[in-house]
Chain A
Amino acid sequence: MLKIDPASAQSAELAAQFKAAPFGPYSADLQKMLQLLRWGFARGRTIIVCTQPYKEWRLGRMGPQRGMKVEIDDSAEVFSDYGAAAWACFRARWQEVVGQPCPVK
């Protein structure tokens, strides 16, 4: 089964690839990694919330069911660039999936 090996140099390299080009094109291995980090139900995990159209994004989290407020950490970083928000979400999802911080800062 496909997994992210946090100790692998290749995993760190793929993370660096994403940081350098968050909108791709992605290598085949990076696509597999992104499958693990992006697909599936969004509820309960870190997502990107656009707080001003085309201008401002933050990381947030949906509640356990519809009808509840979307959690946005107001003290967290505000992104004026969607690519930067995507990279921050990548790192957050890495932590959630792997259980360790992403080695690429």
Chain B
Amino acid sequence: MSERILGYTDRLSAVPGDAVNFKISAPLAGKFKARLIRLICGDDSPEGPGFKAENIDSEIDGIYPARQQRIMAGSYVWVTARQPFDLLNFTVQAMIWPTLPGNGKPQAILGNYDAATGSGYALYVDETGCLAFRAGHNARSRPVSNCWGAIGTKSTRSSIPAPAASRIGHNMMLAYHGMAASRQPDRDAGRADRRGRPFPDRRLERRQVRDRPFQRQDRQPARLGRALKPAEVERLRELPLDVELAQYVVAAWDFSRGMSTVKVTDVSGNRYHGRTINLPTRAMTGWNWDPSDFSWQSKPDQYGAVHFHDDDLYDCGWRTDFTLTVPADLKSGIYCAHIWQKTRGWRQDRGLRPVLRAAGTRDRDGALSVPGADGELFSLMPTSRWSPAGGSMNLSSGKFATMGLVDQYLEEHESFGLSVYDEHTDGSGVCYSSHLRPILNMRPKTDLWQFNADTHLTDWLEKKKIPYDVITDDDLHAEGVECLRPYRCVMTGTHPEYYSKAMLDALQAFTNGGGRLMYMGANGFYWRIAYHAGMPGVIEHRRAEDGMRAWFSESGEYFMSFTGEMSGLWARNGRPPNMLVGNAFAAQGFVNAVPYHRTPESQDVRVSFMFEGIGAEEVIGDFGTVGGGAAGWEIDRADTQAGDAAPCADRGGGAPISRTPITG
């Protein structure tokens, strides 16, 4: 299928004065046009309310030179020291857990090999699954897959022996998938582009030698300044370094340090520190993990593993094509850049990446303040749900697997980054998801799920002329309840499923203080996530213990690397959704949707105001574009035995359920 105009912004939410940078990749040579639109409804389906948007005059209106920008997926560790190693004899040791050996692609473990010049070295798993070492000569040895293995090689001036691999017997260790790569500084390490990335020749080298790694790698891949005897290698397997041999160690990376960061620490004292690129998964159980503790904070020395994937992606790092400085008079709402290119007689045109303007302004320190509400209602856009689901293909929800154009494009292009619903190529679950990449289903004119479904709410608010402001989950996490206080009512999006503790605390404080909360979906407040304190635009999630899961976290890996908090269900973290909204997720998969019927409890004076204008016997929601009714695909239930109030509406004698007519 034809290539698409792709793009993303560096932020999802902005207030007047904020600069929003748009990064565009246009498939056709020449130019592209851009303009700003205010999105009312993104549903262009024949049965829906129709696509509705307003053109907004802005500084981004114009014609721009088109260029294609690449996505470089794949995680690794980049050692940033500028001084090259200059060793004639050395030993390399690492603990690895190969998950896809022999997949036809070389998978680097450690090295600085430059394919263009043939210089340097690389310890890697080759295309056939053999452990290999390259330094002008090649040597191979067969490693064992899906178990921890101590691997190493030693190189002397006169000979390059085959690298050694031995299986570490560990009865408590479950088979796991993973990958690793590490990079040594070299003579070209100081040469890099503006993003600190290597020049193309190095990318080529990386692609050939390191870009396809599929191992989990444990801490201390060590390089030593002389060739060691096997017994000495054994003594250097654990940290802290053996006192007698430490003097020979050139570099030893301890992955258990700086777990919440991108830092990789060299504990040799020689400062060959590194950083992770594209967020490989940290806080993974190491080769020496035993189930004596499940938190990496308690026993970090047993969590020295990093799981590298060839499809990890944090920030595409594209160059900015144009910038919008949010004007003071811009009304709160959902905004998109509309991009198009001319081609033979017709125009490709795409609505790109929303920018949601929160009400309020930023002070000089960048803090958001909301001095007065433009509207009485705050519409809370579940960006923490959009990103985790972003790029995920939802093919078979209550129907025969059906692939739309976006799904097809994602299927045929493997490097767009993943959602936390996906599995990596080696079958391990995706823990991190970022919006600093093109997300093809976070845009109008897509399926009625997540972002596009939420525009039904803005359409309804506009139609009913209800004044409202818009805020995002990201804002709620950063600003807390203070950004909600000016409002009498907060309305969620259609699927507010992923919540950080700060977000949940904010909503709970809002309702405890008398604020009204309209819960517009089901399956809400379900999973616990974490935002990164220093890296914008990314969330972490572990699918711990139980729940309706696309994949499941391995034992010992329930605690998030970003914060050290246990992930999984909020219900397993002492904060069931019932505490906030009086019901909780019960089931999913119902193709047909049905309406609600009022119950006697709806006459209670405390809630009857919600039913003004609705007859006592009137059916609520016996229509809709998804399933033909209000309650369907995913449903909640009020659990009166757990203390939930009796429902005000139920599904006509069936189990009391709550369901939005929107999400489908």
Contact = CB atoms under 8 A, between A and B. Distances in A.
Q: Do A and B come from one complex?
A: yes
Interface of A: 23-26, 37-39, 42, 45, 47-51, 53-54, 57, 60, 62-63, 65-70, 82, 86, 89-90, 93
Most B CB within 10 A of own CB, among A45, A63, A67: A67
Nearest to A39: B396
Contact of B400 (A62, A63, A89): A89
Contacts of B410: 66
A23 B398 CA distance: 10
Most A CB within 10 A of own CB, among B399, B400, B410: B400
B403 A37 contact: no
A24 B412 contact: no
A38 B591 contact: no
A57 B410 CA distance: 18
A47 B408 CA distance: 12
A60 B403 contact: yes
B63 interface: no
Given A26-B591, A54-B46, 20 more contacts: A23-B591, A24-B592, A38-B399, A47-B401, A48-B401, A48-B402, A49-B408, A53-B445, A54-B45, A63-B411, A65-B425, A66-B410, A66-B411, A66-B414, A68-B411, A68-B412, A69-B412, A70-B412, A86-B400, A90-B400
Given A23-B591, A54-B45, A54-B46, A47 B414 contact: no
B413 A38 contact: no
A49 B425 CA distance: 23
Interface string B59-79: 000000000000000000000
B404 interface: yes
Contact of A48 (B403, B412, B414, B592): B403
Interface string B385-419: 00000000001100111111100101111100000
A89 to B, nearest CB: 4
Contacts of B592: 23-25
Most B CB within 10 A of own CB, among A47, A69, A86: A47
A50 B405 contact: yes
B400 A93 contact: yes
Contact of A53 (B395, B403, B404, B591): B404
Contacts of A42: 395-396, 401
A-B pairs with lowest CB-CB distance, top 7: A67-B414, A42-B401, A47-B401, A89-B400, A48-B402, A66-B414, A24-B592
Contacts, number: 66
Contacts of B411: 62-63, 66, 68, 70
Interface of B: 44-46, 395-396, 399-405, 408, 410-414, 425, 445, 591-592
Contacts of A89: 400
A63 B403 CA distance: 13
7 contacts: A37-B400, A38-B396, A47-B402, A49-B403, A50-B403, A86-B400, A89-B400
Contacts of B403: 47-50, 60, 62, 70
A54 B44 CA distance: 9
A4 to B, nearest CB: 15
Most B CB within 10 A of own CB, among A48, A63, A66, A90: A66
A51 B45 CA distance: 15
A50 B394 CA distance: 13
Given A48-B400, A48-B403, A70 B408 contact: yes
Nearest to A89: B400
A66 to B, nearest CB: 5
A89 B402 CA distance: 10
A47 B393 CA distance: 13
Contacts of A25: 591-592
Nearest to A86: B400
A39 B395 CA distance: 10
A67 B413 contact: yes
Contacts of A50: 402-405
A38 B400 contact: yes
A23 B591 CA distance: 7
A28 to B, nearest CB: 13
Contacts of A38: 396, 399-401
Most B CB within 10 A of own CB, among A24, A26, A53: A53
Contacts of B400: 37-38, 47-48, 86, 89-90, 93
B105 to A, nearest CB: 12
A32 B161 CA distance: 59
Nearest to A26: B591
Contacts of A26: 591
A79 B3 CA distance: 24
Contacts of A39: 396
A25 B592 CA distance: 6
A48 B413 CA distance: 19
A67 B591 CA distance: 30
B401 A86 contact: no
B182 to A, nearest CB: 26
Nearest to A40: B396
Contacts of B405: 50-51, 53
A29 to B, nearest CB: 15
